[in-house]
Structure 1
């Protein structure tokens, strides 16, 4: 591994670490790339690629995009920590010829190298050299194939799921992109209820499971 790549050992991904800490329910200080095996460190290009891909999934509009809040780094760290089962060995029957080059010895998949290879091959070269419209077209084709009814499992579904998790556990995703109501909010000692009123999802004591 080159000295340039091994420099990742000294980097801390502030935004990505904070998002991963929220998802895992641990202090952000406990999420550092320094704890990772050097063989699991992504290249600078792979880090850039997942940042750009994340932003294609959730671009900036009137609210920040995925790249703005560090979702790419969240995905890097989440994959390294095995979030959403991404370090679980694949069943033997699930390992196709296309996936085999990206499998670890334990049978789990190296998702970022797979994504890099898949998008570059679809682009006929360097995916990142294409303009945004072409990138969207290529990623849309991958997404459509991965989520088609009856399609075999695709690593893209796990990657996209982590992109969404990272964004919607961020402050921008959770309170600007989505509607946020503070719980418990203000104290109301007497709330009139009518027959048929629904229970509040945030008040489990009022939910009738009967």
Structure 2
């Protein structure tokens, strides 16, 4: 099984369909050779904050600790056309502007409960942005070293192949 097939199978097991550009990005491919949107450090920091609401720190490190925002920036730049990048970053800017309107401060400065409230609002008001953000965050997290070794079971050198192996109660899913 090739890595692409393994990622597709893992996505299907998690109940998620990965878009072709995200899958290409997870494979390290560059499919956008045209112009790209320049991302500022503030935008990257904002991406980290939103990603950390989607996958927060629990008994395992969250998306921010895994550097999911770097994955998101790279995949958007390398795999999505400029028009899609502009829509995505416009959605991010709208989330920050809505936070300022509702709470009087930017998303990054909000309390955790307020951040969750803003993400829930975005889920309904800007669903395309939220779905893409969620897809990129989860893919970036679970393909990172932290996601693969702390949140998933990881066996660096697998033993023999057992096609049907029962899982113990509470056992994590296997990393690819």
Q: Please, what TM-score do these two structures have when normalized by structure 2?
A: 0.63
CA RMSD of aligned residues (A): 3.2
What is the DSSP-based 3-state SS (H/G/I as helix, E as strand, rest coil) of the residue aligned with 2:123? Answer: helix
User: 2:17 maps to what in 1?
Assistant: none
Contact 2:56–2:63 (8 Å) recurs in 1: yes
- Deviation of the 1:51 alpha carbon: 0.8
2:64 to 62, 67, 71: 67
Q: 1:136 aligns with which of 116, 119, 133?
A: 116
1:13-43 residue CA offsets vs partner (Å, 9 max, x unmatched): xxxxxxx9981246xxx9xxxx985x61112
Cα distance, 1:170–1:132 mapped onto 2, change above 3 Å: same
Secondary structure of the 1:159 match is: helix
Q: Tell me if structure 2 keeps the 8 A contact 1:115–1:156.
A: no
- Unpaired segments of 5 or more residues in structure 2? 1-22, 166-176
Change (3 A) 1:60 1:36: farther
Q: Which runs of 5+ in 1 are unaligned?
A: 1-19, 88-103, 147-152, 192-198, 202-210
Q: Kindly state the Cα deviation for residue 109 of structure 1 after the two structures are TM-superposed.
A: 4.5
Corresponding residue for 2:26?
23
Deviation of the 1:66 alpha carbon: 0.9
Q: Which has the larger radius of gyration?
A: 1
* TM-aligned CA distance change 1:117 to 1:129, over 3 Å: same
Preserved contact between residue 51 and residue 63 of structure 2 (Cα < 8 Å): yes
Equivalent pairs, count = 137
Counterpart in the other structure of 1:184: 158
The 2-side partners of 1:52 and 1:155 are apart by 15
Three-state SS of the structure 2 residue aligned to 1:180 is: coil
* Equivalent residue for 1:168, pick from 142, 164, 167: 142
